[in-house]
Amino acid sequence: MSGERIMNEEKSRSLFEASKHLMPGGVNSPVRAYRNVGRIPRFIQKASGSHITDADGNTYIDYVCSWGPAILGHSHPKVVEAVVKAASCGLSFGAPTEAELKLARLVNRFMPNVESLRLVSSGTEAVMSAIRLARGYTGRDKIIKFRGCYHGHSDAMLVKAGSGALTGSAPDSAGVTSGASRDTLVAEYNSIESVKALFEANPHQVAAVIVEPIAANMGVVIPKDEFLDGLRQITSECGALLIFDEVITGFRLSFGGAAEYFGIGPDLVTLGKIIGGGMPMGAYGGRREIMEMVAPSGKVYQAGTLSGNPMATAAGIATLEEILVHREMYSLLDAKGAKIEKALKAKFGDGATVNRAGSLLSVFFAKGPVDSYDSVMRSDLEKFRAFFSHMLDRGIYLPPSQYEAWFVSLAHDDEDIRRTCQAINDF
Ligand SMILES: *Cc1c(COP(=O)(O)O)cnc(C)c1O
């Protein structure tokens, strides 16, 4: 094949073999192990802008972008500078700082719905806490989530629809008790009917519906026109809260996230990824009246030794400030995403479906429309594997799973996009 690069992967291979003895699967988060694609995971040494370099010295154009945080590109000078400066003043105090107030003000400016917020250290923690808050606020136990949406790995979110799915679910991981999964109900993404059925079968018991406003953890699935509106309506009618899990979509599609993008006001929002600018951070927030239930104001307990960590807070502030400066940022990102979408469509035609929202996209090797969990599951995984491998060998670092989104950053320049489109075309 023309332009094929022969890559050395010996160092990554030997690091992976050694890691397997000391870490489960050789990694600290499952998708990194490349199990779905049957290749050796790249051990990354450094990253700058749109490029990452592995332990063997190969450099790739990166569309993982740390799974979202690197929206400005890796090692953005202003973000790195802010972190270094913060580090030189102390790594952690366990006491409030002015920087946390600054970040809270920034988030509130981006997302007026977030009248009050709490900083935590991961998206998982943000969701786990928001769910506890929704239960505490409503005095109800049950939560509705959607099949194919990912909300981190807290027990209540690791469930699948089992038998008797209308009134309870089954654990989707060993170690999750049936008690923990019983109170989580599973609906179908883009099906308001499935949500209605759950509300009808569980009257006055549902504390909240949690949804990825654009699903991005089964690959990208766009909400149908009436779906999010329908969720807003039914939750309001039934006295349940609507939680938008914007860990991916927050600051990704517009300044105000999906809530602004679709013009829908959720009661609570969870944030992660971009808000930490590459450092470990998450947040949950929303209507002040609800947030006042959180300790020490209210009776819902939640705490964190490293919450509002100075370096993470500094990275978050620097990232959001940089986004604010780039008024045209989201249209630039959209244009980059559109070019890649066009190349994929030209290459695969009816043989694949491209779902895209701005700089978030997926190519499914399945006939369209791909608008539900079931249609996602019809994808040809063999074809994905072959495509992934081809792109990796051409120096294009894609998410190693059919069910993950590609992330385009501001640092992807015309030459990166051109090389990416060329590699797609050469498959
Ligand atoms: C990544 C993600 C999470 C979990 O965040 P972590 O920081 O990995 O714990 C939660 N929800 C969504 C939508 C995510 O994409």
Could you tell me what percent of the chain has a pLDDT over 90?
95
Contact 318, 346 (CB under 8 A): no
- Evaluate: CB of 138 within 6 angstroms of ligand 1: no
Distance of alpha carbon 250 from alpha carbon 271, whole angstroms: 6
The pTM assigned to this predicted structure is 0.97
3-state secondary structure at position 210 = strand
- Evaluate: CB of 402 within 6 angstroms of ligand 1: no
For residue 296, give every residue at least 6 positions away whose Cβ sits within 8 Å of its Cβ, in sequence order, or none.
Answer: none
pLDDT tens sequence across 209-246: 999 999 999 999 999 999 999 999 999 999 999 999 99
- Concerning whether 273 is annotated as a catalytic residue, the answer is yes
| Predicted confidence band of residue 5 (pLDDT cuts 50, 70, 90) | low
Distance of alpha carbon 243 from alpha carbon 41, whole angstroms: 35
Which residues on neighbouring strands pair with residue 117, listed in sequence order? 285
- To test ligand 1's pocket by mutation, which of 149, 151, 268, 279 has the most ligand atoms within 8 angstroms of CB? 151
The CATH classification of domain 77-325, taken from the options 3.40.50.2300, 3.40.640.10, 3.40.50.720, 1.10.10.1100? 3.40.640.10
Closest atom, ligand 1, to C-alpha of 124: 9
- Say which DSSP state 79 is in: H
Residue 2 confidence (pLDDT) above 50: no
Closest atom, ligand 1, to C-alpha of 125: 9
Counting Cβ atoms within 10 Å, is residue 198 exposed (0-12), middle (13-18) or buried (19+)?
buried
- Concerning whether 150 is annotated as a catalytic residue, the answer is yes
Contact 359, 336 (CB under 8 A): yes
pLDDT tens sequence across 118-150: 999 999 999 999 999 999 999 999 999 999 999
Domain ranges of the chain: 12-46, 77-325
Residue with the bigger pLDDT between 163 and 112: it is 112
Element (H, E) at 269: strand 268-271
pLDDT tens sequence across 313-345: 999 999 999 999 987 999 999 999 999 999 999
For strands 406-407 and 360-364, give the pairing.
Answer: antiparallel
Element (H, E) at 346: helix 329-348
The alpha carbon of 129 and the centre of ligand 1 are apart by a number of angstroms equal to: 13
pLDDT tens sequence across 195-209: 999 999 999 999 999
Closest atom, ligand 1, to C-alpha of 272: 7
When pLDDT is averaged across residues 170-198 and rounded to a whole number, the result is: 95
Residue 404 confidence (pLDDT) above 90: yes
| Predicted confidence band of residue 4 (pLDDT cuts 50, 70, 90) | low
